[in-house]
Amino acid sequence: MDFSRRSFLATTALASAAFAAEPFKRTGTANLRLSLAAYSFRTFFRNQKTGTRKVEKNAMDMPRFIDFCADHGCDGTELTSYFFKKPVTRDYLVALRRRAFLRGLEISGTAVGNNFSLPKGDARDAQIAYVKQWIDHAAVLGAPHIRVFAGREAKGVTRAQADRWAIECLRECCDYAAKHGIFLGIENHDSIGDAKSLIDFVKAVDHPWFGVNLDSGNFRTANPYEDFAAAAPYAVNVQLKVEIRKAGKKVPADLPRFIGLLKKAKYQGYVALEFEAAENPYEAIPPLLKKLAAAIRLVFAHFGTFAFALHVFVVPRHHLGQRVAHTFLGAIGVRLMRQHHDARLAAVAFDGVVQPLALLRRGGGVVVFLAVN
C-alpha cells in the first residue's frame, strides 16, 4: 500500500468517533463453529453471478449444498450469493431457510461481489443498491453476516481516492444493515493484502455493524500467520483455505495453527472452509471438514475437573514401597492438575508420566489416565 493510502486511512481512523477503533470486546472463551462456503463448489453450480454454466456431472444447487453441509457435520452453511437461482424470490429464500433449519443448520452468512471503489454516479449507485438488496435477502434467510469488498480502482485513480469512495459506500450500507441486525465484513481481498491496511479500513469506516471477514488465504505478506493473528480480534466471520500465499507461492496451510490463533484471540463465531484447491471438492472436502473439526476439538479440549493416574505394578511389593508409590503417584496427579488445561500440554504431561515409570525398570505395568471436563 502506498504512503498516500496509509496516510489517508490513518487520518480517517483518527478523525472517527472510534467506536470500532478497538477490537470487539468478547467476554468468556473462544467458541468456534464449523461452516462451509458454497464458493467451494463454484465450478459445479449451474447458476453463476452473471448467467449460467453447463455442468456435465454432479451439478450443485443451493438445496443440495445445504444437505451436503448437514451430511458432513457442519454447524452452519455459507450461501454465496453468486449461485442462487435467478431471479432470487422471497419464496426461494424462505424455502432455503426452512431446509437449513430442518437439517439442523444455521445459515452462517452470505457473500457478495461488489465494487465500492467508484465515484458518485450511476455505477456506484447500482453497487450500493446491489448490496442493500442482499442485506434484504440475508434478513429473510436469517443470515447474520455478509462478506463485502472494497473493490478495485479504475485506471488512473489512486488507491487513496478509491478508499475514500469505498468508505462512503460502506458506511451507507452499514447503516442499512444495522436496521436488519446484519454485520458487513470486509475481506482482505483485491487491494487489501495485509493486516495493517485491513484494520485501518475497519477503523476508517468506524461502524458498530462492520468488521473483518478474515480470509486465511488472501494475505500477501512474508508471514500470513502474523497478519491473521493481528486481524483476528476484528473478525466477524472467518474463512479458512487449505493453501496460503508465502513469498509469492502457494503452500499448504497449517489449519490447526489458524485454529489456535483464533482461540488466542477469543474469537466467537463461524469458521467456514472455503476450498479453492485443484482437487474435486466432492472428494477433498469431507476429509478436510473432519480435519478441521478434529483440530477444533484438539485445540479447545481442556481438562478442568480432575486428573487421575495409576500405575499397576506386577512385581513384588518390596521392589517399590507403598509409601514411595503413593508419593510418586500423588506427584503425578498434581503435575497433571497443574497443567495449563491445554490438550497438547496434557498430552505432554501424560508422556512425562509414562517415561519415568518405564525408567524404574521394576517391571511391567500400565498407566490409566482419566480426565473429565
Tens digits of per-residue pLDDT, 208-231?
A: 999 999 999 999 999 999 999 999
Tell which CATH classification among 3.10.20.600, 3.40.50.300, 3.20.20.150, 2.40.50.140 matches the domain 3-300.
Answer: 3.20.20.150
Torsion 261-263-264-266 (CA) sign = positive
pTM for this model (two decimals): 0.79
How far apart CA 202 and CA 185 sit, in angstroms, is: 9
**138 pLDDT above the threshold of 90:** yes
pLDDT, average across residues 157-170 = 97
Assign 80 a pLDDT band (cuts: 50, 70, 90): very high
**339 pLDDT above the threshold of 80:** no
Q: Across the chain, where does the E strand assignment appear?
A: 31-36, 47-48, 51-52, 76-80, 106-111, 145-148, 183-187, 210-215, 235-240, 243-246, 249-252, 268-273, 306-313, 365-372
- pLDDT for res 247: 79
- pLDDT for res 313: 37
- pLDDT for res 64: 98
**298 pLDDT above the threshold of 90:** no
- pLDDT for res 371: 42
- pLDDT for res 357: 42
Structural domain boundaries in the chain:
3-300, 306-372
**327 pLDDT above the threshold of 80:** no
Question: CB of 367 within 8 A of CB of 311?
Answer: yes
**121 pLDDT above the threshold of 80:** yes
Average pLDDT value for the chain: 83
Q: How far lies 360's CA from each of 310, 314, 332, 350, 364, in Å? A: 15, 13, 15, 16, 10
- pLDDT for res 12: 52
- pLDDT for res 5: 54
Percent of the chain beyond pLDDT 70? 75
Q: Could you give the residue ranges of the DSSP H alpha helices within 206-360?
A: 224-231, 255-264, 281-300, 322-337, 343-359
Place of cell 509469492: 248
